[in-house]
Amino acid sequence: MDSKVEEIKAILKKYDQEHLLNQYEKLDENHKKRLLEEIQNIDFELITNLYKSTKKEEKNNKDEITPIEYLDKYKLNDKYKYYESIGKKAIKEGKLVAVTMAGGQGTRLGHNGPKGTYDIGLDSHKSLFELLADRLKEDGKKYDVTIPWFIMTSKENNNATIAFFEKHKYFGFQKDKNIFFFTQGELPMIDTEGKILIGEDGFIKLAADGHGGIYESLVKSGMTKKMKEMGAEWVFIGGVDNCLVKMVDPVLMGIAIDKKVTVACKSVVKDNPHEKVGVFCKRNGKPNVIEYTEITEEMAEATDKDGELLYGESHILCNLFSVDAIERMGANPLPYHVAYKKAKYIDKNGNLVVPDSPNAYKFEAFLFDAFGTVDEMAILRVKREEEFAPVKNADSAGVDCPKTARELYKKFHKID
Ligand code: UTP
Is it true that domain 72-276+315-381 has CATH number 3.40.50.300? no
> For residue 238, what pLDDT is reported?
98
351 alpha carbon to ligand 1 midpoint, in Å?
A: 30
Per-residue pLDDT tens digits for 316-359:
999 999 999 999 999 998 999 999 999 999 998 999 999 999 99
Distance from C-alpha of 262 to C-alpha of 376, rounded to nearest angstrom = 8
User: Contacts by 26-29 with C-beta closer than 8 Å and gap 24+?
Assistant: 26/350, 27/202
Report the atom number in ligand 1 closest to the C-alpha of 104: 7
Per-domain residue ranges of the chain: 72-276+315-381
**pLDDT tens-digit readout, 298-321:** 999 999 999 999 999 999 999 999
Mean pLDDT of the chain: 96
- Judged on CB neighbours under 10 Å (0-12, 13-18, 19+), 31 is middle
SS3 (DSSP) at 186 = strand
Q: Assess whether the C-beta atom of 315 lies below 6 angstroms from ligand 1.
A: no
Cβ atoms 166, 153 nearer than 8 A: no
Q: Could you tell me the CA-to-CA distances from 16 to 194, 350, 361, 400 in Å, in that order?
A: 9, 18, 17, 42
pLDDT at residue 57, as a whole number: 59
- The atom of ligand 1 lying closest to the CA of 153 is 25
Q: Residue 144 in 3-state DSSP?
A: coil
Is the minimum distance from the CB of 211 to ligand 1 under 6 angstroms? yes
56 confidence band (pLDDT: 50, 70, 90): confident
- Running DSSP on this structure, what letter comes out for residue 113? S
- Distance, CA of 344 to CA of 330 (rounded, Å): 32
Q: How far is the CA of 210 from the centre of ligand 1 (A)?
A: 7
**pLDDT exceeds 70 at position 1:** no
Whether residue 379 contacts residue 267, with contact meaning beta carbons closer than 8 Å, is answered with yes
Burial of 247 (0-12, 13-18, 19+ CB in 10 A): buried
Mutate to test the pocket of ligand 1, among 99, 100, 105, 388 (most ligand atoms within 8 A of CB): 105
**What integer pLDDT is reported at residue 121 of this predicted model?**
97
Distance 14 CA to ligand 1 centre (A): 34
Helix extents (H) in 295-351: 297-301, 323-331
Q: Say what angle helices 29-40 and 2-14 make with each other, to 10 degrees.
A: 40
Per-residue model confidence (pLDDT) at position 313? 98
DSSP category for residue 38: H
Q: Judge if the beta carbon of residue 240 lies within 6 A of ligand 1.
A: yes
Distance 211 CA to ligand 1 centre (A): 7
Which residue's CA is minimally distant from atom 10 of ligand 1?
A: 106
Q: Is the pLDDT assigned to residue 360 strictly greater than 90?
A: yes
Residue 113 CA, ligand 1 centroid: distance in Å: 13
State how far the Cα of 269 lies from the Cα of 383, in Å rounded to an integer. 8
Dist CA 416 CA 257 (whole Å)? 38
Q: With pLDDT > 70 as the criterion, what percentage of the chain qualifies?
A: 99
